């Protein structure tokens, strides 16, 4: 397998325009799933740390580790308030003026793109640095949040990440937070890795290429690290012990379990499923979802499930809840009232309120002054419910595309 260096890959990605201020859509890097599912999971996990910091000070210093072209600035300044009905005009917890943002990335093209994207903001700056060499801004004042998103730190080998964390712990002044968003080892995108002893394994971002152009020779592979929660906790414990820092994991969750981008590529010897595209259709206000493609199928990976029973139980649990939602919507569409009652009353108690809500919504469609109720009201609500079920599944097992973890550095 021909492998490329990540920095070269990301240079090209920035140069061909994947990291501009692109708007959402059915496909692409900044598709609706990224905006309304993945970003929302990250935003909901960073909201209370931001609120906690804002109780002590008026603005927040953030360093974004592997910042790309500054996506973290947009994300952190668009975290919805926790009580939207009581907040008047305030939409977001942190305004763009309340943040001092420094993005660090190895790719010069990313840094240039970031500077271009935010040239009018003097509270946003970018530095080119290789995080494999440790924390690059030791002479700067401490930051409040050492942030990273969308697998940037999976580019570092475990020892390098540990060194980076140690240097962050030495640099930070409590209270401060570290946000990790690593690749999850037990994602159903790559079950062939579930039994691998190695942490460093090949990865690619071929999902950025349209499927018809995704020939074998056009795919650029590079090494990344795939993480389980316990591997990450061990690393944190070792780093805290070495630096004598006090830390505590605030939250650790699996992000994008069935909507990971590689579910549709089949490039890790798994079948292709276009769940993500279908969820994008739900989120879009003009398209209707195509329910026939939305039933989650895990039969093909039973043999992998035996290797990781806990992960398998979590995937089955989510699958049952997800499919129950899809079956309910199907029953509503076909006017199958017996099935609707059966699903609400006799299946999974945890989600019966969600099922009742969708049923109420559908049966009150005529009250909504929308052109296409199914596309613009029902679809987005179904997608949000499927996302919220994922968010309610409990502490991470490493079975999402992303393993998201917030750590507090305390006194
Ligand atoms: C998948 S992108 C994520 C970018 C951004 N955080 C986002 O939310 O879109 C991963 C980023 O990590 C950067 N990166 C990879 N290896 C790195 C290293 N050793 N030091 C610093 N940045 C690195 C890449 O250049 C790339 O911009």
- What's the chain look like in SS3? CCECCHHHHHHHHHHCCCCCCCCCCCCCCCCHHHHHHHHHHHHHHHHHHHHHHHHHCCCEEEEEECCCCCHHHHHHCCCECCCHHHCCCCCECCCHHHEEEEEEECCHHHHHHHHHHCCCCCCEEEEECCHHHCCCCCCCCCCCEEECCCCHHHHCCHHHHHHHHHHHHHHCCCCEEEEEEEEECCCCCCHHHCCCCCCEEEEECHHHCCHHHCCHHHCCEEEEEEECHHHHHHHHHHHHHHHCCEEEEEEEEEECCCCCHHHCCCCCCCCCCCHHHHHHHHHCCCCCCCHHHCCCCCHHHHHHHCCCHHHHHHHHHHHHHHHHHHHHHHHHHCCCHHHHHHHHHHCCHHHHHHHHHHHHHHHCHHHCCCCCHHHHHHHHHHHHHHHHHHHCCCCCCCCCCEEEEEEEEEC
Q: In terms of pTM, does the model score above 0.85?
A: yes
Question: Is 365 within 8 Å of 276 (Cβ atoms)?
Answer: no
User: Is the CB of residue 68 below 6 angstroms from any atom belonging to ligand 1?
Assistant: yes
Give the number of the atom of ligand 1 that is nearest the alpha carbon of residue 75: 8
> Given a cut of 70, is residue 21 above it in pLDDT?
no
Let me know if residue 264 belongs to a domain: no
Query: Closest Cα to atom 27, ligand 1: which residue?
Result: 68
For residue 82, pLDDT beyond 90:
no
| Residue-wise pLDDT tens digits, 93-129 | 999 999 999 999 999 999 999 999 999 999 999 999 9
What CATH number should be reported for the domain holding residue 159? 3.40.50.150
Q: Could you tell me if the CB of 106 is within 6 A of ligand 1?
A: yes
The C-alpha atoms of residue 10 and residue 196 are separated, in whole angstroms, by 27
**Which residue lies with its CA nearest to atom 4 of ligand 1?**
68
* 176-184 and 124-128 beta bridge pairing: unpaired
Q: Is 265 a domain residue?
A: no
Average pLDDT over residues 240-258: 98
Whether 267 is covered by a domain: the verdict is no
**Same domain assignment for residues 382 and 405:** no
Atom of ligand 1 nearest to the CA of 151: 1
On whether residue 270 sits in a domain, the answer given is no
The mean per-residue pLDDT over the stretch 309-324 comes to 97
Tokens of 260: 């990971």
Q: State the Cα–Cα distance between residues 292 and 199, nearest whole angstrom.
A: 36
The answer to whether residues 246 and 281 belong to one domain is no
1 falls within a domain: no
Mutate to test the pocket of ligand 1, among 64, 111, 152, 207 (most ligand atoms within 8 A of CB): 152
With 0-12 / 13-18 / 19 or more C-beta atoms within 10 angstroms meaning exposed / middle / buried, residue 187 is buried
Query: Residues 320, 210: one domain?
Result: no
Count of C-beta atoms within a 10 Å radius of residue 350: 14
Residue nearest to atom 14 of ligand 1 (CA): 66
Residue 211 is predicted with a pLDDT of 81
Chain centroid, CA 161 distance in Å: 20
Examine the pLDDT at 1 and tell me if it is beyond 80.
Answer: no
Q: Do 23 and 158 fall into the same domain? A: yes
Name the pLDDT band for 88 (thresholds 50, 70, 90). confident
Residues 347 and 405 in one domain: no
Same domain, 58 and 92: yes
Res 393 pLDDT > 70: yes
Taking only Cα atoms into account, the Rg of the chain, rounded to an integer number of angstroms, comes to 22
Atom 17 (ligand 1) nearest CA: 106
Domain tally for the chain?
Answer: 2
Average pLDDT over residues 195-213: 90
Question: Are 352 and 404 part of one and the same domain?
Answer: no
Under the banding of pLDDT at 50, 70 and 90, the label for residue 212 is: confident
Average pLDDT in the 21-27 region? 73
Ligand 1 pocket check for 155: Cβ under 6 Å: yes
pLDDT at 96: 96
Query: Which residues contact residue 214 at a Cβ distance below 8 angstroms, ignoring those fewer than 6 apart?
Result: 206, 265
* Residue closest by Cα to atom 13 of ligand 1: 66
Q: How far, in Å, is the centroid of ligand 1 from the Cα of 347?
A: 43
Q: Residue 179 domain-assigned?
A: yes
Same domain, 177 and 322: no
pLDDT at 215: 79
Residue 4's pLDDT is 78
For ligand 1, is residue 181 a contact (CB within 6 Å)? no
Ligand 1 pocket test: which of 10, 33, 158, 220 has the largest number of ligand atoms within 8 Å of its C-beta? 10
Instruction: Give percent of the chain above pLDDT 90.
Output: 83
Split at pLDDT 50, 70, 90, the class of 209 is confident
Query: How far, in Å, from the CA of 12 to the mean position of ligand 1?
Result: 13
Instruction: Look at residue 296 and tell me whether its pLDDT is greater than 80.
Output: yes
Q: What is the pLDDT of residue 291?
A: 93
Residue 79 has pLDDT above 90, yes or no: yes
Residue 11 Cα to ligand 1 midpoint, Å, equals 10
CA of 121 to the centre of ligand 1 (A): 22
**Cβ(294)–Cβ(278) under 8 Å?**
yes
Whether 23 is covered by a domain: the verdict is yes
Over residues 122-148, mean pLDDT: 97
Q: Which of 53-67, 84-98, 180-194, 236-250 has the lowest mean pLDDT?
A: 84-98
For ligand 1, atom 16: residue with the closest CA = 155
CB distance 14 to ligand 1 below 6 Å: no
More confident site: 12 or 334: 334
- Identify the domain containing residue 331 by its residue range: 275-391
- Residue-averaged pLDDT of the chain: 94
Higher per-residue pLDDT: 253 or 370? 253
Whether residue 107 has its Cβ less than 6 Å from ligand 1? yes
Could you tell me if 107 and 199 lie in one domain?
yes
Q: What is the mean pLDDT of residues 335-357?
A: 93
> Mean pLDDT over residues 193-201, rounded?
95
Distance 155 CA to ligand 1 centre (A): 8
Query: Is 263 a domain residue?
Result: no
The Cα 409–Cα 411 span in angstroms is 7
One domain, residues 364 and 311: yes
Find out whether the beta carbon of 6 lies less than 6 Å from any atom of ligand 1. Answer: yes
Do 157 and 209 have their domain in common?
Answer: yes
User: Do residue 280 and residue 220 come from a single domain?
Assistant: no
């Amino acid at each position: 397998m021909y492998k490329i260096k990540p920095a070269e890959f990301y240079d090209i990605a920035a140069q061909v325009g994947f990291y501009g201020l692109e708007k959402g859509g059915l496909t692409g890097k900044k598709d609706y799933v990224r905006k309304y599912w993945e970003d929302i999971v990250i935003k909901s996990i960073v909201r209370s740390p931001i609120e906690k910091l804002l109780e002590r000070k008026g603005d927040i210093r953030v360093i974004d580790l592997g910042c790309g072209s500054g996506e973290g600035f947009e994300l952190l300044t668009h975290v919805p308030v926790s009580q939207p009905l009581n907040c008047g005009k305030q939409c977001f917890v942190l305004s763009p003026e309340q943040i001092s943002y420094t993005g660090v990335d190895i790719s010069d093209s990313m840094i240039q793109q970031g500077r271009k994207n935010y040239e009018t903001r003097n509270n946003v700056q970018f530095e080119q640095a290789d995080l494999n060499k440790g924390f690059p801004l030791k002479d700067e004042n401490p930051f409040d949040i050492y942030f990273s998103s969308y697998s940037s730190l999976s580019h570092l080998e475990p020892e390098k990440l540990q060194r980076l964390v140690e240097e962050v712990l030495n640099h930070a002044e409590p209270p401060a937070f570290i946000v990790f968003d690593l690749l999850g080892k037990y994602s159903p995108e790559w079950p062939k890795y579930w039994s691998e002893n190695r942490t460093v394994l090949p990865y690619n971002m071929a999902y950025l290429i349209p499927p018809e152009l995704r020939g074998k020779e056009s795919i650029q592979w590079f090494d990344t690290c795939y993480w389980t929660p316990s591997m990450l906790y061990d690393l944190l414990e070792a780093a805290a012990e070495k630096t004598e820092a006090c830390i505590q994991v605030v939250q650790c969750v699996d992000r994008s379990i069935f909507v990971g981008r590689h579910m549709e590529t089949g490039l890790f010897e798994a079948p292709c499923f276009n769940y993500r595209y279908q969820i994008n259709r739900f989120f879009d206000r003009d398209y209707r979802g195509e329910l026939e493609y939305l039933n989650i199928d895990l039969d093909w990976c039973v043999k992998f499930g035996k290797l990781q029973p806990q992960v398998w139980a979590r995937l089955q649990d989510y699958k049952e809840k997800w499919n129950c939602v899809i079956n309910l919507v199907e029953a509503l569409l076909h006017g199958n009232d017996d099935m609707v009652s059966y699903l609400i009353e006799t299946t999974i108690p945890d989600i019966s309120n969600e099922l009742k809500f969708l049923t109420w919504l559908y049966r009150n469609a005529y009250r909504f002054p929308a052109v296409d109720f199914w596309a613009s009201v029902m679809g987005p609500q179904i997608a949000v419910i499927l996302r919220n079920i994922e968010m309610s599944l409990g502490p991470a097992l490493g079975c999402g595309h992303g393993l998201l973890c917030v750590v507090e550095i305390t006194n």
